[in-house]
Amino acid sequence: MTASSSLIRWSGLAAILGGLLWIVPIALTAIKPEHSRRGPEGFAVLLLLAALVLIGVGVLGIYLRQRGGSGPLGTIAVLVAGLGIVIMVPGRLLEPAIFFQAGRLIFLAGLVLFVVDMFVANMMPRGATLLLVIGTLALALFNFGDERIWIGVLFGAAWIWLGYTLWSGRVRRSSSPHMRDEERRRS
């Protein structure tokens, strides 16, 4: 096993843990009576921030795995999503909240680009990629204060599935034009 494949495999485990850490505070908040729900507090905030960092590692692992099937869009997507996480995590702990909101928008923009790149590279399971699309779009509707909190679970579930795919090594070969060009250059 090469260092790169080992890193990809471990990034899968990070994505699984990130997905789980994303779902736990959502479920714990969702089971509270609606009148007592607020945004995440205390330990739940730390779980969500840790989840974002681990999901960022998962994004990097998917990028490394499908690097030959990606074009420049994949690189841009990873950089934008990473920048969003770098702004969002400390922004949640600082005031004013504008830093967190700006980081959130940048992260979501990076994820949208990343999902497009995942479809182009065609290496991850289509179902998991589609679940990530739905989960990412659902984050725009996500609200801790009412029943919309449950749609946040989709995002975490997508990362568990994608992480398992990386961890197990069950990523398929790409049929994208970028990958065919890469294979021709190697020949």
**Which domain range does residue 27 map to?**
3-179
Residue 84 belongs to a domain: yes
pLDDT given for residue 51 in this prediction: 96
Residue 185 belongs to a domain: no
CA distance 65 to 121: 10
Residue 184 belongs to a domain: no
Residue 154 belongs to a domain: yes
Residue 187 belongs to a domain: no
Residue 175 belongs to a domain: yes
Segments in the chain below pLDDT 50: 178-180, 182-187
- How many domains is the chain built from? 1
Residue 171 belongs to a domain: yes
pLDDT given for residue 38 in this prediction: 65
Residue 186 belongs to a domain: no
pLDDT given for residue 76 in this prediction: 96
CA distance 131 to 154: 7
